[in-house]
Amino acid sequence: MRILITGGAGFIGSNLCDRLLADGHDVIAMDNLITGSTDNIAHLAGNRHFQFIHHNVTEYIYVPGPLDAVMHLASPASPIDFTRIPIQILKVGSLGTHNALGVALAKGARFLLASTSEVYGDPLVHPQPETYWGNVNPIGIRGVYDEAKRFAEAITMAYHRIHGLETRIIRIFNTYGPRMRLEDGRVVPNFVGQALRGEPLTVYGDGSQTRSFCYVSDLVDGMVRLLMSSETMPVNVGNPLELPIRTFAETINRLTGNTAGIVYEPLPADDPKQRRPDITRARTILGWAPKVGLDEGLTQAIAYFRSKI
C-alpha cells in the first residue's frame, strides 16, 4: 500500500512509519514539525520507499500520485501544549481532519483517525468501553484537545455515512516509548528525565489518580491491525494495567536507581482521576492484546531518554 501519515515525524507517527516500511509499504510522512522532529525520521533519509513532506495539514493537502490509506495522527497531544498552543490544536483536529478526509476521499483511500481516551474526559464509567459517551468540560483547558478530537470523530463518521468513505477510529490511551520528546511535559518523559538527573519526581496532586500505560510498539501494532480490518466503529487500544501515578513514580525511581524520591505539586485543572481502557473490542475484533510489560517497556524508554539527556 502507499500510505500517507500525517504527524509522521512525531512520536507515534515515526514509530508507525518504521513499522509500515518493515511490512513492505510505501510511506509518505507529512508534518509541520510543531511538536514532531526530523530527528525521528532522519534514519529513513535515502529510503526509496519513504518520503517526507513538510506541511501543516490545517492548510489544503496536496500529495502527488495514488494513495491507498491516510492515517491522520497530526496533533500536539501533551497537556502542556493544551495551554501553549490551544488554537493550533483546535485547528488541526477540525480543519486538519477535514483536509485529511478530503485527500482520502479524492484518492479513494482508506482513512484512519488517531483519536484518544480524552474523548471520555474525566470518566464516570470505569474502565472505559467505546460505548461510553464521556464527561468532558468543553470550556476547560483540556477542552481544546478533547473537543477537537470529538469533532474529528464526528466528521470522520459523517464522511463514512455521507460519502461511503472507508474509515477507522482508534482511541489511543496513554502511550510511551522512544521518540517522545524529553521536554514533552507528559508524565513518562518528565519522570524519567528527572530520575536520570537525580532529581525528585514531580507528582501532581496526591498521586492517587490512575493511568494505564501502553508501550509504543503494542500501540502501533493495534493501529495497523485496525487499518487492515473492516471495523468502522471506534476501537480502544491501550494497556489495561492501571496504576496510581504515585506507584508509577516509585517504579521509575526503582528502575533508574534514583534515590531523590518524590515531591508533590498542584494537580492541573480537569486532570482525569482514573483511566483504564476496556479492550474487549480490540481483543475480539482485531485479535490484539499488549505484549510488552511495564518494566520491559520502561527499560527501553529509559535507555532512549538517557541517550538524549
Q: Which residues are catalytic?
A: 145
- Considering the rule CB under 6 A, would residue 304 count as an interface residue with ligand UDP? no
Could you say whether residue 245 binds ligand UDP (CB under 6 A)? yes
Which one of the spans 68-76, 102-110, 201-209, 218-226 is the region binding ligand UDP (CB under 6 A)? Answer: 201-209
Residue 242 interacting with ligand UDP (CB under 6 A): no
Q: Residue 167 or 194: which CB sits closer to ligand UDP?
A: 194
Tell which one of 58, 174, 217, 258 touches ligand UDP (CB under 6 A): 174
Report if residue 127 touches ligand UDP, rule: CB under 6 A. no
Return the range that interacts with ligand UDP (CB under 6 A); candidates 26-34, 47-55, 61-69, 184-192.
Answer: 184-192
Among 57, 187, 294, 298, binds ligand UDP (CB under 6 A): 187
What is the chain written as a DSSP string?
-EEEEETTTSHHHHHHHHHHHHTT-EEEEEE--SS--GGGTGGGTT-TTEEEEE--TTSPP---S--SEEEE--S--SHHHHHHSHHHHHHIIIIIHHHHHHHHHHHT-EEEEEEEGGGGBS-SSSSB-TT---B--TTSTTHHHHHHHHHHHHHHHHHHHHH---EEEEEE--EE-TT--TTS-SHHHHHHHHHHTTPPEEEETTS--EEE-EEHHHHHHHHHHHHHS---S-EEES---EEEHHHHHHHHHHHHT--S-EEEEPPPTT--S---B--HHHHHHH-------HHHHHHHHHHHHHHH-
Query: Is there binding between residue 202 and ligand UDP (CB under 6 A)?
Result: yes
Contact with ligand UDP (CB under 6 A) among 15, 56, 58, 190:
190
To ligand UDP, the closest distance from the beta carbon of 175 in angstroms equals 10
Closer to ligand UDP at the Cβ: 56 or 212?
Answer: 212
- Applying CB under 6 A, does 186 fall inside the site for ligand UDP? yes
Q: With respect to ligand UDP, which residue has the nearer C-beta, 27 or 203?
A: 203
Query: Which residues is 242 bridged to in the sheet?
Result: 212
Interface with ligand UDP, residue 204, by CB under 6 A? yes
Number of residues that bind ligand UDP (CB under 6 A): 14
Instruction: Give the residues lining the site for ligand UDP (CB under 6 A).
Output: 79, 174, 186-187, 190, 202-204, 209, 211, 245, 267-268, 271
